[in-house]
Structure 1
Amino acid sequence: MPDLSALAWAALALAAVAVGVSKTALPGINTVAIALFAAVLPARASTGALLLLLIVGDWFAIWLHRKHARLRALLPLIPAVLAGLVLGSLFLGVASDAWTRRVIGAILLLVIGVTLWRRRRGAPDDQAPTGRIAAAAYGTLGGFTTMVANAGGPVMTMYFLAARFPMRAFLGTAAWFFAGINLAKLPFSIGLGIIQVPTLLMDLALVPGVVLGAFLGRALLGRLDQRTFERIVIVLTIAGALYLLLA
């Protein structure tokens, strides 16, 4: 078990709650967890520790939103995501922590800008970016960013928002997507030495926070309408991108 101060444990517990809320109600708030883990732990260790908690949260999200998922929408993404995971693992071997954050932050701001531009332009539903080119671009970026910093959520959030998924379909489809992608990351993370025994022990102590956050998110979800949901997600995603770019 890592030797951490009481304040550090409190920050990690708050991050665990944020993971649960992000999986069941507000995807963008996951950036809070990324920031807190990165502040308490070394960058590589924080990536591995957070990954295991994200997997726990994924299964709560599937349980809550499984009836609303559009699984066919995920099929075009699979090859690109796998390519992104490989690129991300290679990038981790050569890039510094600072450059990793800045590259991801710049990518997220670009994706957000494109999404908001399309919405402002009033692109109709039949022009939503769900074709092969869009799936390849978003999938590769999503796989890359989630491999290097568990930050694929904002990229895929923009994909699902741009595709105009209703709120519950958004959450259900994203739940299955990230459950699959996070499990796929495990062999890469173990091979890179990012996940070790102390990481497992620490995460066992933090799992109750994820469970609490999942139920808090479930309660919050009933109070959100589609427009409010989308606005909150976009604002949180922008905040996360700026944090990664400027931290």
Structure 2
Amino acid sequence: MPQLEPWQWALGALCAFSVGLAKTGLPGLGILVVPMIVLTVGDARKAAAWLLPILCTADVFAVVYWRRHAAIGRLWSLAPWALAGMAGGAAALSLQERVLRPMVGAIVLIMLAAYLIRRRARNPAAIAPHPALYGIAAGFATTVANAAGPVMNLYLLSKRLPKEEFIATGAWFFFVINLTKIPIYAAHGLFSRQSLVFDLLMVPAVFAGALGGRRVVEHISPNMFEWLVVALTALSTWFLFR
């Protein structure tokens, strides 16, 4: 059993609930979990491994629930670049966390600026970033910090998907990517018995959040959904620089 203070257990449960909520209703919320899990665990490097099984649990729920809406074809051009980014991220795991996190934040800011510029342009397709940029950035960010959410959100927003397809397609992307990260983290010795027990105890909170996310998305208009994702992405980037 992990030796955590009551406030750490409470914060961990909030993390798990937020992950579930993000996977089925508010995609931009997921990145806010990154700093919270670091506070819960107390070790920024190991926090990614404590969070990964929670993410995988929520991914399963999201994939099953949104299975009829996924636009899988949108991901094929992204997949090889994401794997390349993951390879770079795996190599970078030996770097100090205080170096990695600002790097991820800078990537997200560049992507956010590109999205906003593209949205205001008269011919958005003419300035759309290549999938390679999104894929490498997402693969790197998810491997070093479980922080690919903002990058992937901006990629899916650029495709102008309906909110149901947006969530479903993102769910499939992270389902595959997060499973791929398991051997990488295991090779670096980041999993432990304590972390896995913690993750098991957080499952009810994940499902509670996932059920809540389903209700949230049903009551949000497409335009509000888009700007909520943008706002949460911008807010979450601030945490990456702290």
Pairwise TM-score range, normalised by the shorter structure: over 0.9
Counterpart mapping for 1:178-217 below 5 A: 178-217=174-213
Matches of 2:68 and 2:127, distance apart in 1? 23
- Aligned partner of 2:142 in structure 1 is 146
When normalised by structure 2's length, the TM-score is 0.96
Post-superposition CA distance 1:199-225 (Å, at most 9, x none)? 111101111110000000011111011
- Aligned partner of 2:113 in structure 1 is 113
- Aligned partner of 2:78 in structure 1 is 77
Q: Retained in 1: the 8 A contact 2:32–2:239? A: no
Matches of 1:61 and 1:122, distance apart in 2? 35
- Aligned partner of 2:26 in structure 1 is 26
Matches of 2:169 and 2:127, distance apart in 1? 16
Matches of 1:127 and 1:17, distance apart in 2? 39
Matches of 1:128 and 1:184, distance apart in 2? 31
TM-aligned CA deviation for residue 186 of structure 1: 0.6
SS where residue 67 of structure 1 aligns? coil
Matches of 2:182 and 2:240, distance apart in 1? 23
Match of 1:230 among 226, 230, 233: 226
TM-aligned CA deviation for residue 122 of structure 1: 3.7
Matches of 1:90 and 1:212, distance apart in 2? 35
- Aligned partner of 1:91 in structure 2 is 92
Q: Where in structure 2 are there 5+ consecutive unaligned residues? A: none
Post-superposition CA distance 1:15-40 (Å, at most 9, x none)? 10000000001111112211210112
Matches of 2:48 and 2:171, distance apart in 1? 19
TM-aligned CA deviation for residue 97 of structure 1: 1.1
SS where residue 66 of structure 1 aligns? coil
SS where residue 3 of structure 1 aligns? coil
- Aligned partner of 1:63 in structure 2 is 64
Matches of 2:142 and 2:28, distance apart in 1? 14
Q: Return the letter of the residue paired with 2:16.
A: A
Q: Where in structure 1 are there 5+ consecutive unaligned residues? A: none
When normalised by structure 1's length, the TM-score is 0.94
CA-atom RMSD in angstroms: 1.2
Q: Return the letter of the residue paired with 1:107.
A: I
Q: Retained in 2: the 8 A contact 1:81–1:144? A: yes
Q: Retained in 2: the 8 A contact 1:77–1:135? A: yes
Q: Retained in 2: the 8 A contact 1:88–1:148? A: yes
* Percentage of matched positions with identical amino acids: 37
Q: Retained in 2: the 8 A contact 1:128–1:162? A: no
Q: Retained in 2: the 8 A contact 1:45–1:194? A: yes
- Aligned partner of 1:243 in structure 2 is 239
Matches of 1:24 and 1:122, distance apart in 2? 32
Post-superposition CA distance 1:36-77 (Å, at most 9, x none)? 101121112210011110000001111121111111111111
TM-aligned CA deviation for residue 176 of structure 1: 0.6
TM-aligned CA deviation for residue 182 of structure 1: 0.4
Matches of 1:140 and 1:227, distance apart in 2? 28
